[in-house]
Each structure stands twice: as C-alpha cells, then as structure tokens.
Amino acid sequence: MIGLAIAWRARARGLGVTVFDGRDPGSGASSVAAGMLAPVTEAEAGERALLALGMESARRWPAFAAELRDVTGVDVGYRACGTLVVARDGDEAEALDREVALRERLGLRTARLLPSEARRREPALAPSVRLALDVPDDHAVDPRLVAAALVLAARQAGAVLHTGAGVRSVVCDGERVTGVALEDGSVVQAGQVVVAAGAWSALLEGVPASAQVPVRPVKGQTLRLLDPSGPGLLERVLRYEGGYIVPRGDGRYVLGATVEERGFDTAMTAGAAYELLRDASELVPGILELEIEELVAGLRPGTPDNGPILGAAQGVAGLLWATGHFRNGILLTPVTADLIAAELAGEPAEHAFAADRFASPAPGPAAVPAP
C-alpha cells in the first residue's frame, strides 16, 4: 500500500513511475491489517515523533479517502467511528489509568468512562468491563479496499504496474543507484528507486552495507468474522490488553492480532484463532455467534525504535526507503506518500525518520594503552 500510494503521489508531481511487485499489489501485510487509524491508542511513552507523524497522517486520511473515491469510484470504507479501550479486571483498569495519564500529558483527546456509560454506548460489551477510555479521534478504514483503489488511482494517473515481477536487487554504479534487477534477470534503469518492500526490505540484494536498514518481520494473525444478520453488534473499534475488534460497519469484524517474532513464517495457527476468540469474547460474548470467514497471517516491518524509515538511503544517491512502518502502515500511508513524493521531486522535508538514525557510529580514534 505504501508503494502504491507513493506511485500515485509521485505521478501527481509529474514523475515517471514504474512499480514492481512479486505478488499482487496490496496482497502482503496490507491485506492482513485490520485498518485501525490509531495514533492515540498506539501512543507509547518515548515515541513522541511517531505520535506526531501518526497524528498528521490521521489528519490527512479523510481527504485521502475522499480523493481516492473521487478518482476511482471506490469507497475505501473510512469510518470516523472512534475507539473504546476497555479493561477487564482491576490490574487492567490500573494500567488503563496510567494510559489515560500519559495521553493527558501528551495533550491527546480521551475521556475516562464508567462501565455503565461504556455499555450504554456499546451494549454488546460484557457486564464484567471494569473501566473504559473513549478515544474519539482514532478511526478505521478497510485496507483491502484502499489497496484496490490505489491500484486503480496509480494506473489512471499513468504509473505502470508490473505484478508478478519481483525485484531481486538494487543496481548501483559507485555511489549512485542506476536501477533494479528483477527476479527473471532483466535490469530496469531508473534515476531513483524507492524500496517499499515492507518486511522484505532488508533482503534486497545490491544495497551497500553502509546503506542497509534494520527491518525485521513481526508476524501478525487476524481473524475475519461475519454477522449474517448485518451490522450493529459493535459501532466503535474496541481495544483491550492483547487485541482489538474492528467493525467494518456492514456486519464484518476483524479480530487482531498476534505479535510473533518468528522470522518469515506466515503459518496460520489454531492457537492464534483460539486466543483471538477467547480474548474478544470475554469482552463481547456475541462475537461467538458470528461466522468465521478467514484467518490470515502477515508480516509487519519492524524496526528497532518502532518508527518507519523514510527517505534517502545513506551514501547511495537516488535510493530511498519507505519501509519499517511496523504497526502503523495503514495510518502512515498518506503522510509517507506525500513525504516521499516530495523528496523524489527534489523537495525533501525535515523529519525524525531518516535512515541515518540507525547508522553505526564512525570508529573513534584507537585507544592507546597506558604505559
């Protein structure tokens, strides 16, 4: 999704764009993501720059979704539904109070709700809910619809999309990128190359050691459920210790998500389905009446500080990263596309997510042993 959005925005700036994808565009992590646009609920102490980037991207989402609808006719399922965070017991209620305090310090809009008020707003909640937090500005979108719309929008704007055409390596001439080599051995020339390969970004061959980035796969499994009687069980996104339920507004719900450090494994496991259903049904017992549509597994592109890697690669002119979006790829799509398209057009912006923050420090002077 990140690559497609960059292609669309880069075409809007008049750049010639070709996208290569070994699979169908949007069929990786984008098709597994639940689609929460949740800078406030995802906020962690010590990640203020990420919070600011997420807030800015959330602000851009309504116009991004409306523009996609206008140019493609696809409604991408943007829902300004808000989010409720709920605690199941005393320990979780204490933890939620700490989360409230953090968000108040950060000036974020949240409100503590008594269980009775939470249940008035979402009657499907179990009576066992101990405390709730209303987060009115965290919303949701349907990532599969966004990806489908972006394919259309990018093509309509004049980008050329090659699917089933995986990139094996970046091709450089000294300290300048000159193109990419595909899996079939052919080489494609390009003045600039953007790597938006998600969890696979660090596997790309041909990137000089000094320019490499620490992206690793973090597996997530999500379960798709359907209420055959239609929407109404839940209106808002519901979050709780270890998971979330995202209503699509049409009777479909996405339960997420596991967080597993298992390399490139994408097996779907019975244990994940069990845990996702167990946790969700403790809070919304009605979930167990729904039909199972799908269990899917995908790979988040994780980085050491949980932030994305955006813009110029170190020491390789013309090579740019747009990767490492970890838990926030869908949220950060509009702002990433705008930042990278601007940089491609020669207008780089200052931000805290440059690749050089992971550079190893230059070796200092050799220690001289004391006599």
Nearest to 42 by CA among 233, 271, 219, 259: 259
In whole angstroms, how close is the CB of 41 to ligand GLY at the nearest point? Answer: 9
| 147, 257, 290, 320: which one binds ligand GLY (CB under 6 A) | 257
Question: Is residue 332 near ligand GLY by the rule CB under 6 A?
Answer: no
* CA angle in degrees (0–180, nearest 5) for 92-251-93: 5
Residue 249 beta carbon to ligand GLY: minimum distance, rounded to whole angstroms: 19
Name the residue nearer to ligand GLY (CB basis): 57 or 72: 57
Biggest CA-to-CA distance, the chain: 84
Report the nearest approach of ligand GLY to the CB of residue 220 (Å). 5
Q: How far is the CB of 344 from ligand GLY (least distance, A)?
A: 27
Mask 95-134, x = binds ligand GLY (CB under 6 A)? ----------------------------------------
β-bridge pairing 252-256 and 319-323: unpaired
Tokens of 345: 């057009």
The residue within the footprint of ligand GLY, chosen from 103, 144, 224, 327 (CB under 6 A), is 327
Answer for which of 9, 216, 224, 300 binds ligand GLY (CB under 6 A) is: 300
193-195 β-sheet, strand order: 193-195, 319-323, 309-312
Q: How far is the CB of 34 from ligand GLY (least distance, A)?
A: 6
Distance separating alpha carbons of residues 167 and 282, to the nearest angstrom: 45
Contacts for 94 with CB less than 8 Å, ≥ 6 apart: none
Tokens for 48, please give them.
């203020």
Please name the residue ranges forming H helices in the chain: 2-12, 29-32, 39-42, 48-72, 90-105, 115-121, 143-156, 270-283, 333-344
Residue nearer to ligand GLY on the CB measure, 36 or 199: 36
Which residue in 39, 256, 298, 301 binds ligand GLY (CB under 6 A)? 256
Size of the site for ligand GLY (CB under 6 A): 6
Report CA-CA distances (Å) from 27 to 30, 87, 221, 301.
6, 34, 14, 15
> Which CB, 25 or 220, lies closer to ligand GLY?
220
In angstroms, what is the minimal distance from the CB of 219 to ligand GLY? 10
- Interface with ligand GLY (CB under 6 A): 36, 220, 256-257, 300, 327
